[in-house]
Structure 1
Amino acid sequence: MSPSNARHAFVKPPRAARRPKVSTWHGVELVDDYAWLKADNWQDVMRDPAVLDPEIRAYLDAENAYCEAQLAETKSLQDELFAEMRGRLKEDDSSVPTADGPYAYYSGFVAGGQYPLIYRSNRDGSGAVVVLDGNREAEGKAYWDLGDFEHSPDHRLLAYSIDDKGSELYSVRVRDLTTGEDLPDIVPDTRGGVVWASDSRTFFYVRLDDNHRPLQVYRHVVGTPTDEDVLVYDEKDIGLYVAINATQSAKYITIDAHDHRTSEVRIIDADAPLSEPVLITPRRVGHEYSVEHNGDKLYITTNSHDAEDFRIVEAPVSAPGEANWREVIPHRPGCLILDTILYRDHMVRLERENGLPRIVVRRLSDADEHIIAFPEEAYSLGVHPGYEFDTTNVRFVYSSMTTPAETWDYDMQTRNRVLRKRQQVPSGHNPADYVTRRLYAPARDGELVPVSILYHKDTPLDGSAPVLLYGYGAYGISIPASFSTTRLSLVDRGFIYAIAHIRGGKDKGYRWYTNGKLAQKVNTFTDFIDAGEYLVAQGLTKRGHIVANGGSAGGMLMGVVTNMAPDLFLGIIADVPFVDVLNTMLDKDLPLTPPEWPEWGNPIASRDEFSIIHSYSPYENVEAKTYPHIFAYGGLTDPRVTYWEPAKWIARLREKNASDNLVLLKINMEAGHSGASGRYEQLREMAADYAFALKIAGLAAKQKEKAA
């Protein structure tokens, strides 16, 4: 299973200069040899990558050149993988139109186009026109991302947001849908989201400060100078994020200030956009809640009164405080309420129980409920609320690791469902050729970790197959067992694809999240290792045959398990990896550090939390030992996981690694956290990841021989 190392033995890898920076925290001395890779002007680099320090740029360029040289022999394989992935993509695909009054809106692509188009048609689907052409807007730009697009209630204007550097600094523009021309209004440095008031002239947005923090809500009136925009809400706690939204009824605009354990919501009457925001209930640490609306009531999904997996209460709009909350849906331990949507006559909630999602529809007039669920062992289910409130229709999307996505419209009154779209795979896909299963891996403390696996029916289950094991495990985010056309390229070549639903996510309720954060964060890492060990124990693979993959916080997971159990893994693919955890959490000036303290701990204020993070932080715990093959990816303008995190990690690995396995770093010099913006360039990046996995598994050569 090991590839030849002959090629890369002749190419000298870059070596970053060691310039020790010493700091002392709680009596512990930290020595950071590669701190210089963090640009002093990083805020400016986010806005203009050209101002990056030339020495840092030269080092990153050298890493990119080395990475390209090491993967050069997989170029034909990458091209082959890309062609396969593109062949499974319906190039002129489009979403199902979503009705709103006389019109319907949807997005789509044209063959050969990298970016989406936004369409508007009549409600019956006739008369479709393009209101925004992403390919035309992106011409001449190395990066282009459409953040949000929202039509005004009277359908005359379209507010949309664009990021053209990958730094998530979105500029909002306004388009006249009658003429197709943009108005002079340009609002820079926003978080991207836009919410219209009922007058179709006023919209709200969140502005990012100089440290890239979303703390202020502003109100803009179309046709007025943006420097006259009115500050509506100013969050003083830099440890919170601020977001805006609208209730499904479109009656209220919501302002949500939150971190990873606390939230506080205010509402603005959309019919009175100049009115002051009304507080629902004051924040208190550990209380999370969200707000929906129906008639003269607000419906609040809350974890108050020890409702760990949430309950739903109602309160009068006129007196929304907690003293007036009346329970509607009680807390059921182990049954996590993920989302709540209110329509005129129905409440829809998305729940997860025993690791699987389901939809519950409740008729408001008599509290009658019924469930929409599915029989497969592992699947993904999402609700698309749509634009309308006075409707009996709710849309949901279902898929599994073998079943392409299906979009259904469901009548909540008659219980009839209509299939609106089934994802097409132009090159062909037969679900019967694949097997998906849900396993439960025993963790070392007795918990059972769900593992979703996918493999080709002809793959031998005798331990000879390599496994790509994916994991995330943070922020309560659950990785769905959904359909992916790209992973078929690995599975068709003999890989078993597995997702470990480890603690830190909410796959088994909110407890699954809290048992994988702060002082219990180690459970995330040991769950992933135990899942890999279980696949070995079940005879599905062997030690040293597993390629682990994760990104962002999942990239931190990659760094930790590489230190903890390097011999379990053949290789590591770490996408935008959060591997410099301790130094980042000690730097209160970085964009996301204060809001992240409730997730990881505050090592500045707490000696204990410093010690916990120090014990696992990947960068600090790189040692002189044998490491598996490693491929790390970062983005120069990434505000979430800054480029210097993977750069420093790889530099230290180069210094300490006792093996001659590949240690590669690729920094996209024209993108941020999400990588390349164009859909084909995203496939190119995936093809490089998979070519790396196939190369180190020894399957790249086999595939070449097969093709010959």
Structure 2
Amino acid sequence: MTVRPPIAARHPVRHTVHGIERVDDYAWLRADNWQEVMRDPATLAADIRGYLEAENAYTKVEMADTEALQALLFKEMRGRIKEDDSSVPAPDGPFAYATRFLEGAEQPRIVRTPRAGGAEEVLIDVDALAKGHAYYDLGGADHSPDHALMAWSYDDKGSESYTLRVRDLSTGADLDDRIETTTGGAVWSADSRTLFYTVLDDNHRPCRIYRHRVGAPTSEDVLVFEETNPGYFLGIGQTQSARYLVVDSHDHETSELHVIDAEAPDAAPRLIAPRRPAEEYDLEHNGDLFYILTNADGAEDFKIVTAPVAAPGRENWTDLVPHRSGRLILGVTLFKDFMVRLEREGGLPRIVIRALATGEEHAIAFDEEAYSLGLSEGYEFDTTVLRFTYSSMTTPSRVYDYDMAARTRVLRKEQEVPSGHDASLYVTRRIFAPAHDGETVPVSLLYRKDTPLDGSAPLLLYGYGSYGITIPASFSTTRLSLVDRGIVYAIAHIRGGKDKGFRWYAEGRREKKENSFLDFISAGEFLAKEGFTSRGRIVGWGGSAGGMLMGAVANMAPDLFGGIVAEVPFVDVLNTMLDDTLPLTPPEWPEWGNPIESEEAYRTIAGYSPYDNVAARAYPPILAVGGLTDPRVTYWEPAKWVAKLRAAKTSDSLLLLKTNMDAGHGGASGRFDSLKESAFATAFVLKVTGRA
């Protein structure tokens, strides 16, 4: 029996901006009370809920023939996870702190062990707290400097609005302190009695930082800093030295920092340097100097300068690590005797250690052709040990402790794959695809050695290409379920990321955004030309801004693809960038352009916005996934997109919308529930490629 898909009602709404009129037939899917829905999903209007549930029901029917496959995939994916797993303990004074999973538990425990010896102490049992909740996310768990208290937070809606609590670690009981609508994190001052936290406004933007005295009513909390520009987000962190709290106000290309002495928490924040358009900086601290990572003075790929703590303004910045074009400095961490920087050159990451006393530098070497690195600064400042994580597409994650003085490394943990993983069965490669304008696009590849490279294999092509984010060539246990079925897995490192330096990012945003889409298409065409797959055998996969990429390439080159997976896809770009009440819109204008003020930006966005460019064409099979309480990509974006696609497409290809009615941007919160979502999307890929 043929099941008919839901057909969304059309209620045309006319918009005129810059004298240009558009008609939006599905604007009604945007709830007028969206802020309230974020806090209480039950308040969603009945007609909108009815449509979303009808789409979910249709998706369930159309995917019913894969239910056994989904169960098998879930079993495979779960079998690759060590269920009773834990992180490598991070030392801090008398204790070492860690995260531990028990077998069968969806959520972790936060634990600590005395370094002098003794039993493990459970500080927070997140799995127990999550019982009875469809969604539960631990936002942060930060112990006080004296190890007596822990500030922790939770979100039980998926809307990224966290409730902050304070726990007495000697009794395990939470104090009366309860702070609502925070961003989740908190920073302690040196006295272990003063907390700093960031709150969200009615438009879900972090705009105020408050100081809270443990035990005092929240009505007495003091406003420390307020960001009045809606285009800037506000946060608070801490230097590795723990001496300074750092108030960070930023958008996607401009930042401004203030510091608070952790030993004087009542002092007013002190400005480092006033904001300048398109100039970023971040800082660390050691002794009487701040170490500042910045792109000031034309340092496109960033440089490191020092400034006196007593007078940190730009006029006193002195180059320490000068700018070198093509070497992108990603981050800097300071320890008592060493400075560590993570940088990328030639598309690959590198860790460089600098002895502060002598200025001598050395890099940590790695052998594989494509890999991923991550730093874990830990809690301690006076240490010679740096912890970092290494993986590749064939090598499971490895955690190393590296002695910066002795230049030796110790493997502390290797990711276990209980069901077994033989890296020798797989190939990982890095190739370069020629782009439309003479550039070359890096592509990371993973496939089994026995996969034929004669054009017959399906290929999954993953992409993102926004905000300067680089997709790492790292290990994934879920990915193996595709690769083991003869599917080639590829990541296209397209413009809009920083894989080839800051320039690579700049050439994939605003008026140059089309480069991201053309790079992705070029990568797919090159992979087909080289025999890794063939046209029509490629499944594109992307999420969030990567979902926008999926929508754009589906419009531009539908015949290249045999399927599209768009998770929480940012596809209604023009409408969203025209709505300055939405949480992310003003801070996003530097990334996409401001179509309210600029007709040029309006026309640029209108030219590629996936929703606005849906037309009568033969689209490939598409799976769109959304989250009802998502504050980043609101649920109505994929809902409107699918409604318009269904009305316009000329093919009988599968078109599915799945909305998680209990979660937001990140999907399900439990580790096994999230695997079920991965299994579902993987089953869709196998179904449309004939490998189900």
> In 1, Cα distance between the equivalents of 2:316 and 2:127?
51
> In 2, Cα distance between the equivalents of 1:612 and 1:127?
61
The 3-state SS of whatever aligns with 1:74 is: helix
Asked if structure 2 preserves the Cα contact closer than 8 Å seen for 1:628 and 1:661, the reply is yes
Residue 148 (structure 1) aligned with residue 132 (structure 2): no
Matches within 5 A, 1:194-593: 194-593=186-585
Sequence identity percentage: 64
Asked if structure 2 preserves the Cα contact closer than 8 Å seen for 1:444 and 1:530, the reply is yes
Structure 1 counterpart of 2:157, from 145, 160, 165: 165
Which residue in 2 is equivalent to 1:94?
86
Structure 2 counterpart of 1:604, from 596, 607, 617: 596
The 3-state SS of whatever aligns with 2:237 is: strand
The 1:597–1:432 alpha-carbon spacing in structure 2 relative to 1, beyond 3 Å, is same
Which residue in 2 is equivalent to 1:706?
none
Asked if structure 2 preserves the Cα contact closer than 8 Å seen for 1:292 and 1:341, the reply is yes
Pairwise CA distance, 1:227 = 2.1
Residue 629 (structure 1) aligned with residue 621 (structure 2): yes
Pairwise CA distance, 1:193 = 1.3
The 3-state SS of whatever aligns with 2:122 is: strand
Asked if structure 2 preserves the Cα contact closer than 8 Å seen for 1:147 and 1:161, the reply is yes
Q: What is the identity, as a one-letter code, of the residue corresponding to 1:272?
A: A
> In 1, Cα distance between the equivalents of 2:518 and 2:364?
34
> In 1, Cα distance between the equivalents of 2:464 and 2:87?
28
Q: What is the identity, as a one-letter code, of the residue corresponding to 1:566?
A: P
> In 2, Cα distance between the equivalents of 1:626 and 1:108?
49
Residue 118 (structure 1) aligned with residue 107 (structure 2): no
Residue 135 (structure 1) aligned with residue 141 (structure 2): no
The 3-state SS of whatever aligns with 1:634 is: strand
Which residue in 2 is equivalent to 1:691?
683
Q: What is the identity, as a one-letter code, of the residue corresponding to 2:635?
A: Y
The 1:129–1:508 alpha-carbon spacing in structure 2 relative to 1, beyond 3 Å, is same
Pairwise CA distance, 1:126 = 4.1
The 3-state SS of whatever aligns with 1:194 is: strand
The 3-state SS of whatever aligns with 1:680 is: helix
Residue by residue over 1:285-317, the C-alpha shift from the partner in whole angstroms, topping out at 9 and shown as x without a partner, is 011000100001101001011000000011110
The 3-state SS of whatever aligns with 2:406 is: coil
The 3-state SS of whatever aligns with 1:480 is: coil
> In 1, Cα distance between the equivalents of 2:518 and 2:140?
38
> In 1, Cα distance between the equivalents of 2:47 and 2:556?
33
The 3-state SS of whatever aligns with 2:185 is: coil
Pairwise CA distance, 1:416 = 1.1
Asked if structure 2 preserves the Cα contact closer than 8 Å seen for 1:401 and 1:484, the reply is yes
Asked if structure 2 preserves the Cα contact closer than 8 Å seen for 1:450 and 1:500, the reply is yes
Pairwise CA distance, 1:373 = 2.6
Which residue in 1 is equivalent to 2:639?
647
Q: What is the identity, as a one-letter code, of the residue corresponding to 1:298?
A: F
The 3-state SS of whatever aligns with 2:147 is: coil
Which residue in 1 is equivalent to 2:98?
106
Q: What is the identity, as a one-letter code, of the residue corresponding to 2:223?
A: L
Asked if structure 2 preserves the Cα contact closer than 8 Å seen for 1:357 and 1:373, the reply is no
Pairwise CA distance, 1:128 = 1.1
The 3-state SS of whatever aligns with 2:99 is: strand
Matches within 5 A, 1:659-674: 659-674=651-666
Pairwise CA distance, 1:343 = 0.4
> In 1, Cα distance between the equivalents of 2:100 and 2:500?
35
The 3-state SS of whatever aligns with 2:298 is: coil
The 3-state SS of whatever aligns with 2:293 is: strand
Q: What is the identity, as a one-letter code, of the residue corresponding to 1:660?
A: D
> In 2, Cα distance between the equivalents of 1:326 and 1:229?
38
Asked if structure 2 preserves the Cα contact closer than 8 Å seen for 1:138 and 1:144, the reply is yes
> In 1, Cα distance between the equivalents of 2:652 and 2:107?
40
> In 2, Cα distance between the equivalents of 1:594 and 1:215?
13
Which residue in 2 is equivalent to 1:703?
none
What TM-score do you get using the length of structure 2 for normalisation? 1.00
Which residue in 2 is equivalent to 1:47?
39
Residue 61 (structure 1) aligned with residue 40 (structure 2): no
> In 2, Cα distance between the equivalents of 1:140 and 1:564?
45
Pairwise CA distance, 1:124 = 5.4
> In 1, Cα distance between the equivalents of 2:690 and 2:512?
37
Which residue in 2 is equivalent to 1:21?
13
Which residue in 2 is equivalent to 1:32?
24
Pairwise CA distance, 1:226 = 1.2
> In 1, Cα distance between the equivalents of 2:326 and 2:364?
18
Asked if structure 2 preserves the Cα contact closer than 8 Å seen for 1:675 and 1:682, the reply is yes
Pairwise CA distance, 1:345 = 0.3
Pairwise CA distance, 1:559 = 0.3
Range moving further from structure 2, 576-585 or 186-195:
186-195
> In 2, Cα distance between the equivalents of 1:126 and 1:546?
55
Residue by residue over 1:310-329, the C-alpha shift from the partner in whole angstroms, topping out at 9 and shown as x without a partner, is 00011110000011111100
> In 1, Cα distance between the equivalents of 2:156 and 2:222?
26
Pairwise CA distance, 1:192 = 1.0
> In 1, Cα distance between the equivalents of 2:538 and 2:423?
25
> In 1, Cα distance between the equivalents of 2:51 and 2:589?
31
> In 2, Cα distance between the equivalents of 1:413 and 1:663?
57
The 3-state SS of whatever aligns with 2:176 is: strand
Q: What is the identity, as a one-letter code, of the residue corresponding to 2:565?
A: I
Q: What is the identity, as a one-letter code, of the residue corresponding to 2:476?
A: S
> In 2, Cα distance between the equivalents of 1:71 and 1:198?
55
The 3-state SS of whatever aligns with 2:613 is: coil
Q: What is the identity, as a one-letter code, of the residue corresponding to 2:291?
A: Y
Asked if structure 2 preserves the Cα contact closer than 8 Å seen for 1:104 and 1:125, the reply is no
Q: What is the identity, as a one-letter code, of the residue corresponding to 2:667?
A: G
The 3-state SS of whatever aligns with 2:296 is: coil
> In 2, Cα distance between the equivalents of 1:497 and 1:116?
30
Pairwise CA distance, 1:405 = 0.4
The 3-state SS of whatever aligns with 1:193 is: strand
The 3-state SS of whatever aligns with 1:404 is: coil
The 3-state SS of whatever aligns with 1:485 is: coil
> In 1, Cα distance between the equivalents of 2:457 and 2:347?
27
Pairwise CA distance, 1:686 = 0.3
Pairwise CA distance, 1:402 = 0.1
Pairwise CA distance, 1:123 = 2.0
Pairwise CA distance, 1:125 = 6.3
What TM-score do you get using the length of structure 1 for normalisation? 0.97
Asked if structure 2 preserves the Cα contact closer than 8 Å seen for 1:118 and 1:133, the reply is yes
Q: What is the identity, as a one-letter code, of the residue corresponding to 2:464?
A: Y
> In 2, Cα distance between the equivalents of 1:90 and 1:75?
24
Q: What is the identity, as a one-letter code, of the residue corresponding to 2:50?
A: A
The 3-state SS of whatever aligns with 2:603 is: helix
